[in-house]
Each structure stands twice: as C-alpha cells, then as structure tokens.
Amino acid sequence: KAGVTQTPRYLIKTRGQQVTLSCSPISGHRSVSWYQQTPGQGLQFLFEYFSETQRNKGNFPGRFSGRQFSNSRSEMNVSTLELGDSALYLCASRWGSEQFFGPGTRLTVL
Amino acid sequence: SQQGEEDPQALSIQEGENATMNCSYKTSINNLQWYRQNSGRGLVHLILIRSNEREKHSGRLRVTLDTSKKSSSLLITASRAADTASYFCATDVAYNTDKLIFGTGTRLQVFP
C-alpha cells in the first residue's frame, strides 16, 4: 500500500497570507490527524478527522482549520499567517491504535 | 503542552553499541508508540506497546513499559550509522485515543 502523502512538500508564504495543505491517507484509513512540529514547542496535535467529522481539536487558534472529504483526503488551512506558523506540518492516518505519518509539509512564513 | 519527557536529550555512540532511550509520561494511557524522525522529515512508526504489555520486541528494537512508573524505554541493539535520527515516544490518553502526545525526543548519533 502507498503511504501517507502530503502536498506540497515545501511552501514559502508571507505574513498575512493564507495557506492550504493537503494530505492523502493510506488507502482504507478513515482517520486523519494533523500535527505541527516546531523547534520550540515540539510536536503538537492540531486536529483529527474521521468520516468527514472533526472529532478532536488541539489548543490552536481559530486561524487553523481543516476538513476531510468523502474519500478521506484532508486539507488543513491556516489564515492570516504569522511568523510563528513556520513549522513542519505532519499528517497521520490511523489504523486501529497505530498512526502512520506522511513526510510533512515544511511551511516557511517570511 | 507536551506530556512526555525523554532522556537523554542527545546520545552519541559507536556503531555496534546499544542505545537506550527513556520516556516518561504523566497520565494513564492505552498505548505508547515509538517513532523515528530523520532530519526534520516525517515520522516513521517503530513499535506500539499496549498498557497491559510489559515488553515488546521488533528486530533490533526492544521496548519496555512500566505503567506504575509511567515510563518506557527503547533499546536499539547493535546500532548502525543508519540509526542516526531523533526518536520520539507518543502516548494517547485513556479517555481519548485519537490524539497523540509526544515526548521531547532523543537525538541519537551513531558514529561509524
């Protein structure tokens, strides 16, 4: 089976812009989670979707949002970008208790 | 905030030696997972251990779990240069299995 894929792999934006990241889970996996990784805060949970419904949300401002489509693909959107949003954004799909991660999208905000 | 703390923060060893990393967490869990990350890339799933298990093996990896001490250890035997990476433990919480809480990570450097 193909692994979790994320696009784009790298992105450069400026403050105030918005960005959309995409994640395709492993075939058959219906749960998709998003995580942010920064040197200062480490890996932090953003949100989790299952069958197009957000089931869990981490402690991030409302500028961070997401959605899931009927084919389980998920998108994450960040509006009004701030410098501190520069991070590696990781998507994971879940099977049972195991979560499998994609390669990440490296977002740089200038 | 992160639940887990990992120890040591960094570890340097020679090829062939064993590497041991420790993870502590704060709340009751259902499962604990270990991941490897190479140079800011994605996380590679290594092993999952359930709260009712005490030890698990996978190839050169050995994981132990002590729920009374809320701690886990990852042992990599006969290390190789290719094992150079950051290693993270991740726990769910007993009432919420959907979300993983990660430790701070251990940076392992294996010298040839």
Q: Cα–Cα distance between B3 and B26 in angstroms, integer?
A: 6
To the nearest whole Å, the CA of B43 is away from the closest chain A CA by: 6
Alpha-carbon torsion B41, A96, B101, A68, what sign? positive
B99 and A98 within 8 Å at the Cβ level: the answer is no
Cβ pair B56, B18 in contact under 8 A:
no
Is it the case that residue B95 has pLDDT exceeding 80?
no
Question: A90 CB near a chain B CB, below 8 Å?
Answer: yes
Cα–Cα distance list, B110 to A67, B10, B15 (Å): 41, 11, 6
Is it the case that residue B94 has pLDDT exceeding 80?
no
Of B33, B42, B98, Cβ closest to residue A56:
B98
Q: How high is the pLDDT of residue A9?
A: 96
Q: Which stretches of chain A drop beneath a pLDDT of 70?
A: 1
Among all residues of chain B, which has the CA nearest to that of A42?
B104
B66, two tokens: 């002590």
Cα–Cα distance list, B95 to A54, B27, B31 (Å): 17, 10, 12
A2 alpha-carbon distance from chain centroid: 18
A45 and B99 within 8 Å at the Cβ level: the answer is yes
Categorize the per-residue pLDDT at B1 as very low, low, confident or very high, splitting at 50, 70 and 90. very low
A101 and B99 within 8 Å at the Cβ level: the answer is no
